[in-house]
Amino acid sequence: MTERVVLAYSGGLDTSVAIGWIAEETGAEVVAVAVDVGQGGEDLDVIRKRALACGAVEAEVADAKDEFADQYCLPAIKANALYMDRYPLVSALSRPAIVKHLVATARKHGAGVVAHGCTGKGNDQVRFEAGVQALGPDLKCIAPVRDYAMTRDKAIAFAEKATLPIATSKKSPYSIDQNVFGRAVETGFLEDIWNAPIEDIYEYTANPATPREADEVVISFKEGVPVALDGTPVTVLQAIQQLNERAGAQGVGRIDMVEDRLVGIKSREVYEAPGAIALITAHQELENVTVERELARYKRQVEQRWGELVYDGLWFSPLKRALDGFIEEANQYVTGDIRMTLHGGRAVVTGRKSEQSLYDFNLATYDSGDTFDQSKAQGFIDIFALSAKIAARRDLA
Ligand code: ARG
- Reduced to 3 states (helix: H, G, I; strand: E, B; else coil), residue 268 is strand
- Measure the CA–CA gap between 309 and 326, rounded to whole angstroms: 15
Give the Å distance between the CA of 124 and the centre of ligand 1: 7
CATH topology of domain 361-396: 1.20.5
In sequence order, what DSSP letters do the residues of 90-143 get, joined into one string?
HHHHHHHHHHHHHHHHHHHTT-SEEE----SSSSHHHHHHHHHHHH-TT-EEE-
Ligand 1 pocket member 186 (CB < 6 A): yes
Give the Å distance between the CA of 11 and the centre of ligand 1: 18
pLDDT at 31 over 70: yes
**Which has the closest alpha carbon to 44: 55, 53, 35, 57?**
35
- Reduced to 3 states (helix: H, G, I; strand: E, B; else coil), residue 378 is helix
Query: What pLDDT score was predicted for residue 169?
Result: 75
Nearest alpha carbon, ligand 1 atom 4: 123
**Which has the closest alpha carbon to 253: 238, 243, 263, 262?**
243
Query: What are the catalytic residues?
Result: 14, 95, 124, 175
Residue pLDDT, tens place only, 165-223: 998 876 688 999 999 999 999 989 999 999 999 999 999 999 999 999 999 999 999 99
Q: Which atom of ligand 1 is nearest to the CA of 83?
A: 12
Give CA separation, 281 vs 2, 169, 274, 327, in Å: 52, 41, 11, 16
Question: Average pLDDT in the 243-250 region?
Answer: 98
Question: Average pLDDT in the 103-117 region?
Answer: 98
**Environment class of 281 (CB within 10 Å of its CB; exposed 0-12, middle 13-18, buried 19+):** buried
Question: Average pLDDT in the 225-246 region?
Answer: 98
CA atoms within 13 A on the CB side of 49: 5
**Environment class of 46 (CB within 10 Å of its CB; exposed 0-12, middle 13-18, buried 19+):** exposed
Nearest alpha carbon, ligand 1 atom 10: 177
CATH topology of domain 176-291+333-353: Argininosuccinate synthetase, chain A, domain 2 (3.90.1260)
- Reduced to 3 states (helix: H, G, I; strand: E, B; else coil), residue 257 is strand
- Measure the CA–CA gap between 144 and 149, rounded to whole angstroms: 7
Query: What pLDDT score was predicted for residue 133?
Result: 98
Query: What pLDDT score was predicted for residue 170?
Result: 66
Residue pLDDT, tens place only, 359-389: 999 999 998 888 999 999 999 999 999 999 9
Alpha-helical segments (H) within the chain = 13-26, 44-53, 65-68, 74-78, 90-108, 124-135, 144-147, 152-161, 236-248, 274-290, 293-311, 318-330, 361-364, 377-384, 386-395
* pLDDT above 70 as % of the chain: 99
* pLDDT above 90 as % of the chain: 95
Ligand 1 pocket member 123 (CB < 6 A): yes
Query: What pLDDT score was predicted for residue 202?
Result: 98
pLDDT at 326 over 90: yes
Q: What are the structural domain ranges in the chain?
A: 4-171, 176-291+333-353, 361-396
Residue pLDDT, tens place only, 262-300: 999 999 999 999 999 999 999 999 999 999 999 999 999
Give the Å distance between the CA of 130 and the centre of ligand 1: 16
- Measure the CA–CA gap between 307 and 77, rounded to whole angstroms: 11
Query: What pLDDT score was predicted for residue 355?
Result: 98
Vertex 155: Cα angle to 167 and 262 (nearest 5): 110
- Measure the CA–CA gap between 158 and 138, rounded to whole angstroms: 31
Nearest alpha carbon, ligand 1 atom 2: 91
Query: What pLDDT score was predicted for residue 22?
Result: 97
Query: What pLDDT score was predicted for residue 167?
Result: 87
- Architecture field, domain 4-171: 3-Layer(aba) Sandwich (3.40)
- Measure the CA–CA gap between 330 and 332, rounded to whole angstroms: 6
Tell me the β-bridge partners of 216.
341
Whether 4-171 and 361-396 share one fold: the answer is no
Vertex 188: Cα angle to 195 and 186 (nearest 5): 90
Q: Which atom of ligand 1 is nearest to the CA of 269?
A: 1
Q: Which atom of ligand 1 is nearest to the CA of 259?
A: 1
Question: Average pLDDT in the 327-349 region?
Answer: 98
Q: Which amino acid is at 225?
A: V
- Reduced to 3 states (helix: H, G, I; strand: E, B; else coil), residue 348 is strand
Tell me the β-bridge partners of 2.
none
> What is the 3-state secondary structure of 57-101?
CEEEEEECHHHHHHHHHHHHHHCCCCECCCECCHHHHHHHHHHHH
pTM for this entry: 0.97
Question: Average pLDDT in the 92-102 region?
Answer: 98
